[in-house]
Chains A and B, each alone.
Chain A
Amino acid sequence: MLLRTASIRRVRRLAPLFCAIALVLAGCSPDHYAQTALRPISDFGRIGDDIQTTTLKWAIVVFVLVEGALLYAIFRFRGKPTDPEPSQVHGNTTIEIVWTVIPALILAAIAVPTVRGIFQTNITPAADALEVQVIGHQWWWEFRYPTLNLTTANELHIPVGQTVSLKMGTVDVVHSFWPPRFAGKRDLFPNRETRLWFKAEEAGEYPGQCAEFCGIQHARMAFRVRAQSPEEFQAWAAHMQSLRANPAAAVAAPKDSVQTVSAGATVQAQAAGPDDPQYAAGEKLFQAKGCVACHSLNAFDAPKGMIGPNLANVGDRSYIGAGTLKNTDENLARWIENPQLIKQGVLMPNLGVTPEDAKALVAYLRAHQ
């Protein structure tokens, strides 16, 4: 009886601890996190996730057993200085062999799916895969579709249900491409092609970001993956192919039915047309301020080696500055006026753009969708 109340009191004393644990667990659900790696929606992502789940289960079993034994020992073998010396055990060969062999068996249970997973994730994707070149830049992403002769930046459009085969490299330092909902990371090296592939299973817009420290703005090197139904993707590709040096054959921008994952990510404003005076002023400024030196407006047959991101469909993107700001007119204007204030160290210099000029440039860029 006495022992009982004592243990209840002990449990009561631990109540704040349980509260803290409950609080942490409340923040545990992966659905709470837009960029979670625990809700894979691709074949590649599932391979790693399955292994991780297996390993985690074993880890929890071992954790409970070891910590349980430790806690038991802590309470059970409490001694006083006046107690007689406990029995002086130096070891026990049988027990020691047992607790060497059992962990080895558990590890074998993890090793088998691991090796299988390694070989599965290292296969070369089939020929019908959509090839995309991923090129890392300080601090933005270039995506090129060689079969479609298309180039875009910071938003990777992919069709659902078709494997995409990413071939990756960087023009400057080492980066790492991480689209957590679809796959783990793969590093990008100069002069060395690395590969990653996955087949998206659900349409939507999903965040990802650079995972290898790459300089002052590593934190602001994010991207979006827009997984679209095959039809929508085809429409998008056809539209993009019309965004070329000679825009005679412009195809209307497809209506975007994609649901964004993080609330309020898609925030396109009404775009002005080429007849708008603001648009014309912006077009002039785009030349006069030297924007063209670093940014191409051609999605089709775009020049290689540009320093800044391709802006052919910038008006349509969810974010600007590689995930730095939501793509609203106000934000775009702020960015154009003073990129160094928003993303210190970014390669785009402050070009002395007045608020008036910025408005015109926003109108011009917003029309590029």
Chain B
Amino acid sequence: MATSALDQQRAHAAAGHGEQTGLWSWLTTVDHKRIGILYGATAFAFFLLGGIEALLLRIQLGTPDNTFLAPDTFNQLFTMHGTTMIFLAIMPLSAMFFNFMIPLQIGARDVAFPRLNAFSYWVFLAGGLLLNSSFLFGLAPDQGWYGYANLTSRQYSPGMNVDFWLLGLQILGIASLAAAVNFFVTILNMRAPGMKLMRMPMFVWMSFITQVLLLLAFPVITVALILLMFDRFFGTNFFVPSGGGDPLLWQHLFWVFGHPEVYILVLPAFGIISEVLPVFSRKPLFGYAAMVFSGVFIAFLGFGVWSHHMFTTGMGPIADTFFALTTMLIAVPTGVKVFNWLGTVWGGSIQYRTPMYFALGFIAMFVIGGLSGVMHSSPPADLQQNDSYFIVAHFHYVLFGGSIFGLTAGAYYWWPKMSGRMLNETLGKVHFWLMLIGFNLTFFPMHILGLNGMPRRVYTYPAGLGFETLNQLETVGAFILALSFLVFLINIFRTARGPHNAPADPWNGATLEWAIPSPPQEWNFAEVPVVHGRDALWEAKRERGGPLPEPPRVSGKGIHLPNPSYWPLVSGIGVLTTVGGVLAFPHFGPWVSMAGAAILFLGVFGWAFEPAG
């Protein structure tokens, strides 16, 4: 194996201070960077799983009246595809960057609550495993990721499918809330001296707003899921019409959570793009303050638009008008963001490296998703668009064209920092072009199909309605899209065998993470930096009149770091067992839950009385 000077230096530093390796070190780690890698690896595995589910769906829909998948299998797969991509792929992929990058970008040595951070990861993993374990029993959730009542009632969904879904989501909610508290506090309290709020990198700003959204939105879905759990297990009637309940209540609760959730999924990508575009344009972000406040405004308005998912329920003219206008209003700050990104690129000296390809692709694709969003802000038009493939096209342009393009830009951008290795540029660009072409072939025709009468969530469609050709094209596109991620995997595995060849600052970065070795040492900053303005590293380089010398790997003697701990893992197992026991209610389930509660108590007890180090 080839070794570079960086490799030798790294080996030398590791030998000096006994860097932890091995399985046990990963199970007990409280290092935000390792937890970030755990989040990323797990979420990427779920992303591939969700992608395979999508390919199966696309094969089924490639031809009319197809019998490739049975109806119930199709319904399980589309439910799990949506649930997986939202809760197990995009959110935790963002969490990977929160974990790895927020402390580095704000000049901190770790997050505010390192053990809580580990706990978040283990609980997230538990939720993902519980949800997907349903496949082993052939009982995967089959009611859609939005789980509309009263289809989810025991009467109409007697199987355990819905139980897996609601308990899995409940566990994932615990993970998200714990992480949100952690990053909220980290960003507010752990910034390096001189890093005022209005000097924070834009990724940190957008992440901060995301944590606020998580803190306010997730309690709503938690409550809704508890009500549903009571309906299904204990015979209450919150959403059961025969008992006086109202299915419409579920829709309101779900979308009060669900719409902010959309911004939870896309704001981190906004942040990543706002890091990548300036660096590769060699020009600061255009309109920093406007970018901050438009993000805040989007988040605020995000809580006032939920019923635009419900125009077809017939809410009456006053409610329709209110939600139509707030929805249109949200396009203004979103437009400001797009224009500011253009303003950032404009007049720059654009360096065409792979992260920049994906960032520019993000703008091009996200604009399409934004514009179709404006199209269904108008209720009379939305009555036709809602629940048709037009909506499927819209939110894939936002969540794939937006979130996934943005996260992929972030992956290529920060890969050298996280792994210490440069990804291959040619493969990266092949990945980009295949993804752009595959993405548009898959999702653009859905606009046309939706407006021409193809509804969502159908396991098949009859021949003769005209849907055949474009569906076939979409299926071809989906495989090209899958191929693009195969290229990405090849790129990752090829470079993983290569030397540690990434310098500290491969892109001429503007922010603090590029001031320290790649990958960073456990303590991040040997010396806590002092910040004098925005784009702190650019400032430092300008002052010096050229690039900074490669930072040496140093001994971390005397730097206080939290001790590894297995209590977060124990507590996570406790949460999984407690909630998982509900599945077996009323048989042996309560006993499992009680055992789980005991484990959780033990975990928290051990955690609380663990010596700090």
Contact = CB atoms under 8 A, between A and B. Distances in A.
B421 to A, nearest CB: 21
B281 interface: yes
A226 B470 CA distance: 28
Interface string B449-488: 0011111111111101111011001000000000000000
B375 interface: yes
A185 B314 CA distance: 10
A224 B59 CA distance: 28
Interface string A88-127: 1111100110011001100100110111011111100000
Contacts of B451: 30, 36-38
Contacts of A4: none
Contact of B345 (A73, A96, A344): A73
Contact of B466 (A32, A69, A107, A219): A32
Interface string B365-390: 00110011011011111111111100
A69 B383 contact: no
Contacts of B281: 77, 86
Contacts of A275: none
Nearest to A35: B453
Main secondary structure of the interface of A (DSSP, over half): mixed
A187 interface: yes
Contacts of A138: 156
Given A86-B282, A176-B387, A186 B467 contact: no
Interface string B516-559: 00000000000000000000000000000000000000000000
Given A28-B448, A70-B363, A174-B151, A96 B383 contact: no
Interface residues of B, number: 98
Chief secondary structure at chain B's binding surface = helix
B175 interface: no
A172 interface: yes
Contacts of A176: 312, 387
Say which size band chain A's interface belongs to: 35 or more
B548 to A, nearest CB: 16
B360 interface: yes
A344 B72 CA distance: 9
Interface stretch (A142-150, A188-196, A251-259, A360-368): A188-196
A304 B487 CA distance: 60
A122 B317 contact: yes
Contacts of B348: 77, 79, 86
Nearest to A74: B360
Contacts of B328: 107, 110-111, 114
A34 B449 CA distance: 11
A262 interface: yes
Contacts of B454: 35
A339 to B, nearest CB: 13
B383 A110 contact: no
B613 to A, nearest CB: 43
A192 B71 contact: no
19 contacts: A32-B452, A34-B466, A35-B452, A49-B384, A52-B378, A52-B381, A59-B371, A66-B342, A70-B345, A77-B347, A79-B351, A91-B289, A96-B287, A114-B324, A114-B378, A190-B150, A215-B156, A219-B457, A219-B459
